[in-house]
Structure 1
């Protein structure tokens, strides 16, 4: 009996086709790629794939494709589809996790550098791919499954943050894709609104108890939070400050991005600006829609006050167009129009008005980060603030209330410490603390469309564990203001994604 079994085994081995050159090449490629991946990531357990590849291509002890020999054609067809789908899902998961990811620009915060409707290929390797922190998730779904609306991931297990070797670190002016730091908590019926600003605006109790209005309050892991894209302006250890739309780093003036946009006030001699003039400047319909209706300025108004506002006096009635969103180049072109008398930065204009009538013009201010400390600051100003750096220490010796307001979220939410501030003293993990040493690097991100960007001025620093990657190129760009083939912005396809550095 034993002899018969051995004879069958020997016959089976003899009948196996010997691997050809093609199989040897595929086997070597697969094994080399596996070893390179292990060296890059340090995931030594992946080496278990080596004997699997050797058996698939060379030894063939395990009948990996035995189902293909089934006599039932229906079974073969079903299993053929299952095999293709599983292989595709594994491939997509592997590629989007470690190498590249698709991202669509949803808002105008980076206009004119990146436009609404741009589809980006994001390079995850440039800063080092981030190891999966929520590994059990469905590929191509950030946090919510379409149609059914359920979570596209399992919350457990949660793995510690780890980043593999990259080509370089983040540089100033880089456009960076990252997980929205303030998106750790979400009201399901207001997912586009910042939960913490909702609480500051409507009250914590209302947001957390009124499910009919706000829905369930859910927590999202770091890598399942919404993807954002902004330009890195402040690096770890920098002191950043914004005064009158000008950014200063460590006291030195920072050159603005080439395509940075601001709101302006345009004064004309009474001539109405046509839609075509705005279109010729390259202004989108979305930007045109935020322009206030032209305001009539009486003739022979107070000349001194007009000069403070940046306007010109006239013996005739003039028109003011407010919140006109333009780049410096667009401003220069607008000033060349014979009917334009002046163009003034919106923030300068509003700050002067607010000094004269603070109650009437409080609506034009923003509550900047952190919401517990600063109130009523224009978007063109931001107080001098130190950006935390890995290994550097914050000392709670003076201005403690300010430091708590600015850095509590970093210490508590991002670096996962118990944090309490009472009676003028700081307690970390139950112990009174005179200082704290940060374990992460942090970045200050801003949009080029400065007056229409929700960025670090509103929700704070971006921790290093939230960094996803850098836009590599635009593979498709669609203009929502147009239809048919004219929707496609052909001149942007396959152009670089990290523009105007």
Structure 2
């Protein structure tokens, strides 16, 4: 005879989570999910300056894709989630450099192309900033003009890449001098989206200003001169006004070095006449002389991971050994703002290393005018949910 024995299992009921615990778990899950989305897929950014006008405006909020070029693994892992440099609303650093890791890029489905609008970490140390790690440097956004190995030349404001004219974006702005018989004011320029923005992150930025008044002896009329940053389409509209007596592009003259321009210490370069030069490419070897040291010396010193580099106008030493040539260890890019005469970009501070690339700007989801004409025009409805080209 067999007896069926039933095993009794003591199933102690789990205590029910308190409302506070439930709330804390929900917040933790949301933070982890948002951090992973921000790290791997898309991140939100705001446009703080007019350097990309009119393609992108101050007050535009956009999503940047990290899927296109591949997300970077964090160099600075000890950081409060969903912060960048500071804890929200304070000047307290949101990170610790106690641990610094090598950074790698995950696979993406494309590479940076000529004409892409790219977000990247500002390469040199920004005036007044601490020496941030690469992944925590200030974010900039510009249009990629030159990719690794390209030969770039700017002549009289026209950009040539590998001897081909680089197309000007439809909404790109440049500077013009306008002679008129009328006195123009903010109300007039605002109708054409030409606004002096005094609330941007690095303002004030002047997109229009009167320069001079003078008598035209041939017509006995008083003319007013204005310097205006505008698109070609807007300038074409101005040309149709009978009170506009002349429009000329404002350009720097060739072969005149401009203070503050990259590599102008050894080359007669300025904002409108720059190069030719080759954008550094991984594996590319260059000879070193006075001209190439001015262009590539800062790259070798700052971004190539070399120890004990000394750069002078005449020579470069690495590890106390003078070198006569150099082979680059990573790719670089040349970035320029669409607002060509109101942009601090590669013409000022040089090349963007590949490990500084954050992602590709894809679309604007919100646009708020920081200096609206009235409360009804605070939101730029025509910019909402617009793709970035």
User: What is residue 88 of structure 1 aligned with on the other side?
Assistant: 30
| Structure 2 unaligned residues grouped into runs of 5+ | 1-6, 199-204
User: Superposed, which structure 2 residues align to 1:3-18 within 5 Å?
Assistant: 10-12=9-11
Partner of residue 283 from structure 1, selected from 178, 190, 194: 194
Q: CA deviation at 1:286?
A: 2.8
User: What is residue 166 of structure 1 aligned with on the other side?
Assistant: 108
Q: C-alpha separation between the residues in 1 aligned to 2:70 and 2:84?
A: 20
Using the size of structure 2 for normalisation, the TM-score is 0.88
Q: Within the alignment, does 1:235 sit opposite 2:127 as a pair?
A: no
Partner of residue 415 from structure 1, selected from 304, 324, 339: 304
Partner of residue 460 from structure 1, selected from 350, 355, 358: 350
Q: C-alpha separation between the residues in 2 aligned to 1:333 and 1:135?
A: 53
Q: Aligned with 2:300: secondary structure? A: helix
User: What is residue 389 of structure 1 aligned with on the other side?
Assistant: 281
User: What is residue 328 of structure 1 aligned with on the other side?
Assistant: 232
Partner of residue 167 from structure 2, selected from 245, 249, 255: 255
Q: C-alpha separation between the residues in 1 aligned to 2:227 and 2:88?
A: 37
Q: Please tell me whether the aligned partners of residues 297 and 311 of structure 2 are also in contact (alpha carbons under 8 angstroms).
A: no
User: What is residue 16 of structure 2 aligned with on the other side?
Assistant: 69
Q: Aligned with 1:126: secondary structure? A: coil
| Structure 1 unaligned residues grouped into runs of 5+ | 1-6, 17-65, 71-75, 189-217, 301-313, 356-361
User: What is residue 478 of structure 1 aligned with on the other side?
Assistant: 368
Quickly say closer, same or farther: Cα 1:425–1:122, change in 2 above 3 A: closer
CA distances 1:139-172 after superposition (whole Å, capped 9, x unpaired): 2321111333111111131111211111111111
Q: CA deviation at 1:402?
A: 2.0
Q: Please tell me whether the aligned partners of residues 294 and 319 of structure 1 are also in contact (alpha carbons under 8 angstroms).
A: no
Q: CA deviation at 1:370?
A: 3.1
CA distances 1:26-82 after superposition (whole Å, capped 9, x unpaired): xxxxxxxxxxxxxxxxxxxxxxxxxxxxxxxxxxxxxxxx5x526xxxxx2332232
Q: Within the alignment, does 1:487 sit opposite 2:375 as a pair?
A: no
Partner of residue 367 from structure 1, selected from 260, 283, 294: 260
User: What is residue 292 of structure 1 aligned with on the other side?
Assistant: 209
Stretch deviating more after TM superposition (462-471 or 145-154): 145-154
Q: Please tell me whether the aligned partners of residues 347 and 378 of structure 1 are also in contact (alpha carbons under 8 angstroms).
A: no
Q: C-alpha separation between the residues in 2 aligned to 1:154 and 1:371?
A: 37
Q: Aligned with 2:228: secondary structure? A: strand
Q: CA deviation at 1:318?
A: 4.1
User: What is residue 134 of structure 2 aligned with on the other side?
Assistant: 222
Structure holding more strand per residue: 2
Q: C-alpha separation between the residues in 2 aligned to 1:322 and 1:383?
A: 30
Q: C-alpha separation between the residues in 1 aligned to 2:270 and 2:320?
A: 38
Q: CA deviation at 1:316?
A: 2.3
Q: Aligned with 1:182: secondary structure? A: coil
Q: CA deviation at 1:221?
A: 0.4
Q: Aligned with 1:90: secondary structure? A: helix
Structure holding more helix per residue: 1
Q: CA deviation at 1:317?
A: 3.7
Using the size of structure 1 for normalisation, the TM-score is 0.70
Q: Please tell me whether the aligned partners of residues 143 and 335 of structure 2 are also in contact (alpha carbons under 8 angstroms).
A: yes
Q: CA deviation at 1:320?
A: 3.9
CA distances 1:333-391 after superposition (whole Å, capped 9, x unpaired): 0000001111101116xx49x99xxxxxx9xx54211365457x542221322210011
Q: C-alpha separation between the residues in 2 aligned to 1:117 and 1:432?
A: 49
In the alignment of these two chains, the number of paired residues is 375
Quickly say closer, same or farther: Cα 1:378–1:439, change in 2 above 3 A: closer
Q: C-alpha separation between the residues in 2 aligned to 1:333 and 1:222?
A: 44
Q: C-alpha separation between the residues in 1 aligned to 2:163 and 2:224?
A: 35
Stretch deviating more after TM superposition (316-325 or 464-473): 316-325
Q: C-alpha separation between the residues in 2 aligned to 1:319 and 1:116?
A: 32
User: What is residue 380 of structure 1 aligned with on the other side?
Assistant: 272
User: What is residue 430 of structure 1 aligned with on the other side?
Assistant: 320
Q: Please tell me whether the aligned partners of residues 177 and 468 of structure 1 are also in contact (alpha carbons under 8 angstroms).
A: yes
Q: Aligned with 1:162: secondary structure? A: coil
User: What is residue 272 of structure 1 aligned with on the other side?
Assistant: 183
Q: Within the alignment, does 1:187 sit opposite 2:187 as a pair?
A: no
Q: C-alpha separation between the residues in 2 aligned to 1:181 and 1:130?
A: 16
Larger relative contact order, structure 1 or 2 (CA cutoff 8 Å, min sep 6): 2
Q: CA deviation at 1:488?
A: 1.2
- Rg larger in structure: 1
